[in-house]
Structure 1
Amino acid sequence: MRDRAIRIANFSGYLGDRYTALAEALDGDPVDVLAGDYLAEVTLAILAARYRRDPARGYVEYFLDQLRPHLATLADRGVKVVTNAGGFHPAALADAVRAAAAEAGVTLSVAHVEGDNLLADLGELAVAHPLTHLDTGRPLSSWDTTPIAANAYLGGWGIAAALAGGADIVVCGRVTDASLAAGPAAWWHGWDPGDWDRLAGAVVAGHVVECGPQAVGGNFSGFTAVPGMTRPGFPIAEIAADGGCVITKHARDGGTVTVDTVTAQLVYEIQGPRYLNPDVTVHLDDVRLSPAGPGRVAITGATGSPPPPTTKVAVFGQIGYSVVNTVYVTGLDVDAKVALLREQLGRDRPDGVELDVTRIGVPAEDPGSQWDATAAVRIMATSREREPLERFGLSTRIGSLYLQSFPGFFHDGGGELAVRVRPRIDYWPAVLAADVVPHRVVFGDGQAEDVPSPPQTSIVDQPEHPEPDGEPEGTRLVPLGTVAHARSGDKGGNCNVGVWTSDPAAWPWLRRTLSTAGLRKLLPETADLEIVRHEFPHLRAVHFVLRGLLGTGGSANLRVDQVGKAVGEYLRARLVPVPEELLEGEDHR
């Protein structure tokens, strides 16, 4: 056990995050561990298709390219690296890292964590376990799709065991995002698996930094006040022995860390006040945030209880193919133009081909330029089989309409229309007893160590919060974003939206305004959806889960905003009645 806090620097929030981030983290403020998160649910779907084509790979090669130039520096400084870039084949990535180190003449110990990939055993598991859908409760046997991937969410104790065994680099598959911080913190401080409050604090820290620049102003509704947004840096979590932490960033980098940027990440992609993880159930409603100096925010008060007896298994299967293109509509009679386009493209469609035509935007009145008068029209064709979609020939149909469709019909002349059809991958979030999921660490010499299940589990329900009522008086209609921040994201087929205010005086108004009924009025597309609502008074936040808004998941739904990242900003643009006293003076967001 060490006296000082462990400093964990994130260098990736998703596959495709800034390539130079690992180098930046090494060149920045001193840290003990570099953590790279690559496996969003959509990313898993992409890697699943790659793994089918070449079972020798299936890992994130982007990470290996980022890492290779810095192996000597890591060895010299003793900085550890943990990542879930192993994807579907962490053993292969671990071997590739060892080969790169040998080529560079560097001695580094590399271990990998495995057990999450359950595809080979899925049929046998399904005999004893229904693998019910997390939201609907339906058994996996009712899914009319052949699974191509199945990965259980593992906790952080495998990472802790790998580091305790001397590993310098730990390669994982599908561990939870927060495990990339919780595992190193447990190793550093010598925690026990039953240290629920400490583990809860580390999971909170990991959740805040897992998405990289989002914690320092990226994707933040208050971005106009964030310095250095051209190139925001990556966050650092300083996790103390009691589980409390400070979130900060490399001092030289752009962006900022404030109570609001941390709140944005706390309410992002959660189930509710009870944040379920394989190692601990976190009680997020106990969390407190406070400034701890320039660019530093302290997180305290996190409490934990035993984790649930089940874990989530991300199951993917191919449900067909798709092709998508975009054209543009300008000026008057926009709805009639889009209707004509839909009718023309839909004529003589082969059986099984579905067409989704979505207008994006509304031309301005009395536009100041041609582009102010223009809206996009996104056209997606899908089918279960490849052949009908190829025979449909979406790009050819679009290209044939220039002289026979609406006036002003065009597509971007600087780019070609898409011809190649792409696989559509569906998502089934299954629930499986955690104690049947293997969890082991494999070291470079082939020695393996099994990771035991948690010493205790419990089922904890999400709290229920009463719906507020009452209407404010003396109000003015303004965009919700005038007085509130928001952040939205995806949890499978559900979209979550967190809305909060920085102004204590605005909190009673915000919670009354954002009742479930109030949200339905502001987001008409939720009219027929189940909505789960929770309050976080200490954060002055209201959190919603919009069940089914994203269909069955980001990799398969037909929405243009595929994973719901813009829903929060849409909500902030809606006009709401705000009391005049809340609009006086400075920005109250």
Structure 2
Amino acid sequence: MTALRVGNCSGFYGDRFSAMREMLDGGELDVLTGDYLAELTMLILGRDRLKDPTRGYAKTYLRQLEDCLGTAVERGVTLVSNAGGLAPARLADEIRALADRLGITVAVAHVEGDDLLDRADALGLGSPLTANAYLGAFGVARCLDAGAQVVVTGRVTDASVVVGPAVARFGWTRDDVDALAGAVVAGHVIECGTQATGGNYSFFTEVPDLRRPGFPIAEIDADGSSVITKHPGTGGAVTIGTVTAQLMYEVTGPRYLGPDATARLDTVALSDDGPDRVRIAGVRGEAPPPTLKVSRNTVGGFRNETTFVLTGLDVDAKAALVRAQLTDALVPPPAQVEWTLARTDHPDADTEEAASALLRVVVRDPDPAVVGRRFSGAAIELALASYPGFAVTAPPGNGSPYGVFEAGYVEQSVPEHTAVLPDGTRVAIPAPTVTTPVSDDPDVPGDAVARSDTAGPSDTDTVMLPLGTLAAARSGDKGGDANVGVWVRTDAEWEWLRGWLTVDAIRQLLPETATLTLHRYEFPNLRAINVVVHGLLGAGVASGARFDPQAKGLGEWLRSRHVPIPRHLVRESAAQDPTAQDTTAQDTTAQDTTAQDTTAQDTTTSGAPA
């Protein structure tokens, strides 16, 4: 049986609008998928639904279909997406109405049952704004088996829109856990669109024509193995590096839990399969867990913020003054007040911006008046009565509601997983009968001393260089937690990385993690380490005040830190890349950098002392 060719045209709600047209016109496809949902997106759709009960789906998808539905039907490309959000039935109706207006005959189906809001309290999920279980792929497959040409879902897992078509094509059952797991991995790789073709890639200077990278394609075989590729002539690249980057995105340990199968990421094997083609093979699967994750969003209250610009001399004293003044003015204080001083200033700067630091204050409170008029007024009233050079980046507004994300869990049988076929028939999708209890993967803190016997004779001869000289990274968010995956490209580099990059080393390189719980996992097949930082992002992106609320830059910060790298590894890396400069002579310079005058480089995030 020929491989199933599945493309992706969306990695988030707001991705490149023209991608659907580009993917349909760019080459052969069997299925075109789109991922429109994320934790923050569910909150956005929940607020949309509050304003208008008929809404709650990704409106972008419907607009894309106005231009592309006819082309997809004409070329026999099946469309599967989770754009239904909180209202998959409504979106399916809208697509039928659109097809009628366009004079197109098309079979539309949808999957529902993920929305648990009406039962949330009884299920112990509280009283959230949204409560949606992550469903699996068999509802999608049932719709396709009934002849659907367009399938829209609510909150299924990101990979399920890819796994469902594979189940329908190859006739897999729930017992085919290895094949299902392989498709889950393929779906995970292409779910975030161009992140698999060079987007957000650490070694981005190696990627040709990154100005407009093409969207990815997974060619899935009957055994669940796959090849990741893209349409010919499109920008970007598909390499072992770009695929590894996406494999390490927003994961935890070796077990990647899913509602249909648990994929063992530590069994993934990658190999070159030609230009812009990477083969994924060897994936082993396990029965899924007995519970499903539930995405819960609640309105946490109201928030506001402003950023003071502190220019020139006495930055600490200026910060202390305005902080004390605003604190005195806000009595009683808001429920939460967070100050962050970013020492972006440089001594003797040749531009005013380079001479300036940023002092940011974020306030939260259940009462919108506290963070609205009262906070804004207190901040602006300081304009002529505070530190010299008083300025703000923008006047504070009236405040706005913020959301809090929390994961919940229910038994697999709780959601009424239903495939609504093109003719309106409702088919219940039974929960899996065989499951594997969830157990935490043992983490590997790393022990450089214990691994000292793996070091080569020249490993003691090191040079201080950025970790990113050898290592790539990708980081992201899951609620209030962050993950950062780090990997290298040769076996020798891997032996050094896994021995040196311990939990203790990570705490030293990323001081913001010093008081948090870290779990570290190793993926030898990928030459990768993944670190989960619990609590770094507070209550999630919708409420966070951190400079990088989704931890997207956490990996690049880690790569920028100077570490002792064996000189022979640097030489070997440079030899493999003829464009690289020999940096082994930079030891003194790199070490001297750490001894420079840093009196103007206070990078603490706790703000100036009161």
TM normalised by structure 1 equals 0.93
1:388 matched to 2:375: no
Q: Work out whether residues 194 and 454 of structure 1, in 8 Å CA contact, stay in contact via their aligned partners in 2.
A: no
Cα 1:27–1:417 change in 2 (3 A) is farther
- TM-fit CA distance, 1:292: 0.8
1:107-126 correspondence runs (5 A): 107-126=105-124
Cα 1:337–1:580 change in 2 (3 A) is same
1:450 matched to 2:428: yes
Q: Work out whether residues 358 and 379 of structure 1, in 8 Å CA contact, stay in contact via their aligned partners in 2.
A: yes
After superposition, the C-alpha distances for 1:390-440 in whole angstroms (9 at most, x for unaligned) are 23242x44433333333333345xxx5341321111122011111122111
1:302 matched to 2:300: no
1:550-565 correspondence runs (5 A): 550-565=537-552
CA distance in 1 between partners of 2:310 and 2:467 (Å): 30
Selected match of 1:20 from 15, 18, 21: 18
Cα 1:46–1:360 change in 2 (3 A) is farther
Q: Match of 1:269, SS?
A: coil
| Corresponding residue number in structure 1 for 2:586 | none
Amino acid at match of 1:39: L
1:29-428 correspondence runs (5 A): 29-126=27-124, 140=125, 146-351=127-332, 353=334, 354-394=336-376, 396-412=377-393, 417-428=395-406
- Percent of aligned pairs with the same amino acid: 47
Q: Work out whether residues 319 and 384 of structure 1, in 8 Å CA contact, stay in contact via their aligned partners in 2.
A: yes
Larger Rg: 2
Q: Work out whether residues 352 and 384 of structure 1, in 8 Å CA contact, stay in contact via their aligned partners in 2.
A: no
| Corresponding residue number in structure 1 for 2:596 | none
Q: Match of 1:147, SS?
A: coil
- TM-fit CA distance, 1:466: 6.0
CA distance in 2 between partners of 1:350 and 1:249 (Å): 58
Amino acid at match of 2:363: A
CA distance in 2 between partners of 1:409 and 1:70 (Å): 52
- TM-fit CA distance, 1:352: 5.1
- TM-fit CA distance, 1:194: 1.2
Q: Work out whether residues 273 and 463 of structure 1, in 8 Å CA contact, stay in contact via their aligned partners in 2.
A: no
Amino acid at match of 1:66: Q
CA distance in 1 between partners of 2:366 and 2:209 (Å): 46
- TM-fit CA distance, 1:169: 0.8
Q: Work out whether residues 486 and 569 of structure 1, in 8 Å CA contact, stay in contact via their aligned partners in 2.
A: yes
1:488 matched to 2:475: yes
CA distance in 2 between partners of 1:377 and 1:97 (Å): 48
Q: Work out whether residues 114 and 172 of structure 1, in 8 Å CA contact, stay in contact via their aligned partners in 2.
A: yes
Amino acid at match of 1:64: L
After superposition, the C-alpha distances for 1:344-364 in whole angstroms (9 at most, x for unaligned) are 333321535133232335223
Q: Match of 1:347, SS?
A: helix
- TM-fit CA distance, 1:270: 1.0
Q: Work out whether residues 359 and 376 of structure 1, in 8 Å CA contact, stay in contact via their aligned partners in 2.
A: yes
| Corresponding residue number in structure 2 for 1:478 | 465
CA distance in 2 between partners of 1:253 and 1:367 (Å): 43
- TM-fit CA distance, 1:368: 3.7
Q: Work out whether residues 350 and 391 of structure 1, in 8 Å CA contact, stay in contact via their aligned partners in 2.
A: no
Amino acid at match of 1:428: E
Amino acid at match of 2:354: D
* Count of aligned pairs between the two proteins: 566
CA distance in 2 between partners of 1:378 and 1:356 (Å): 8
| Corresponding residue number in structure 1 for 2:456 | none
Cα 1:63–1:325 change in 2 (3 A) is farther
Cα 1:383–1:512 change in 2 (3 A) is same
CA distance in 1 between partners of 2:79 and 2:11 (Å): 15
Amino acid at match of 2:20: L
| Corresponding residue number in structure 2 for 1:465 | 444
Which piece of structure 1 moves more, 170-179 or 369-378?
369-378
Q: Match of 2:345, SS?
A: coil
Q: Work out whether residues 274 and 460 of structure 1, in 8 Å CA contact, stay in contact via their aligned partners in 2.
A: no
Cα 1:252–1:405 change in 2 (3 A) is farther
Selected match of 1:437 from 415, 420, 426: 415
Amino acid at match of 1:188: R
Q: Match of 1:272, SS?
A: coil
Amino acid at match of 2:418: R
CA distance in 1 between partners of 2:352 and 2:8 (Å): 43
Which piece of structure 1 moves more, 513-522 or 437-446?
437-446
Q: Match of 2:565, SS?
A: strand
Cα 1:88–1:514 change in 2 (3 A) is same
CA distance in 2 between partners of 1:522 and 1:442 (Å): 51
| Corresponding residue number in structure 1 for 2:486 | 499
Question: What is the root-mean-square deviation of aligned Cα atoms in Å?
Answer: 1.8
Which piece of structure 1 moves more, 343-352 or 243-252?
343-352
- TM-fit CA distance, 1:460: 4.7
Cα 1:348–1:181 change in 2 (3 A) is same
Amino acid at match of 1:468: D
CA distance in 1 between partners of 2:422 and 2:137 (Å): 19
After superposition, the C-alpha distances for 1:478-536 in whole angstroms (9 at most, x for unaligned) are 11111100111111111011000012211111112211111111111212211111101
CA distance in 2 between partners of 1:81 and 1:327 (Å): 48
Q: Work out whether residues 463 and 566 of structure 2, in 8 Å CA contact, stay in contact via their aligned partners in 1.
A: yes
- TM-fit CA distance, 1:582: 1.3
Q: Work out whether residues 446 and 501 of structure 2, in 8 Å CA contact, stay in contact via their aligned partners in 1.
A: no
CA distance in 1 between partners of 2:532 and 2:117 (Å): 29
After superposition, the C-alpha distances for 1:318-343 in whole angstroms (9 at most, x for unaligned) are 11011233343333332333332322
1:530 matched to 2:509: no
After superposition, the C-alpha distances for 1:273-302 in whole angstroms (9 at most, x for unaligned) are 000000001111010111111111111111
- TM-fit CA distance, 1:559: 1.4
Cα 1:107–1:377 change in 2 (3 A) is farther
Cα 1:460–1:382 change in 2 (3 A) is closer
- TM-fit CA distance, 1:384: 1.4
CA distance in 2 between partners of 1:554 and 1:453 (Å): 32
CA distance in 2 between partners of 1:192 and 1:329 (Å): 63
Cα 1:352–1:153 change in 2 (3 A) is farther
After superposition, the C-alpha distances for 1:53-75 in whole angstroms (9 at most, x for unaligned) are 22211111111112211111111
- TM-fit CA distance, 1:24: 1.1
Cα 1:308–1:65 change in 2 (3 A) is same
CA distance in 2 between partners of 1:368 and 1:228 (Å): 34
Q: Work out whether residues 350 and 388 of structure 1, in 8 Å CA contact, stay in contact via their aligned partners in 2.
A: no
Which piece of structure 1 moves more, 101-110 or 221-230?
221-230
Amino acid at match of 1:528: T
Amino acid at match of 2:149: D
Q: Gaps (5+ residues) in structure 2?
A: 453-458, 578-610
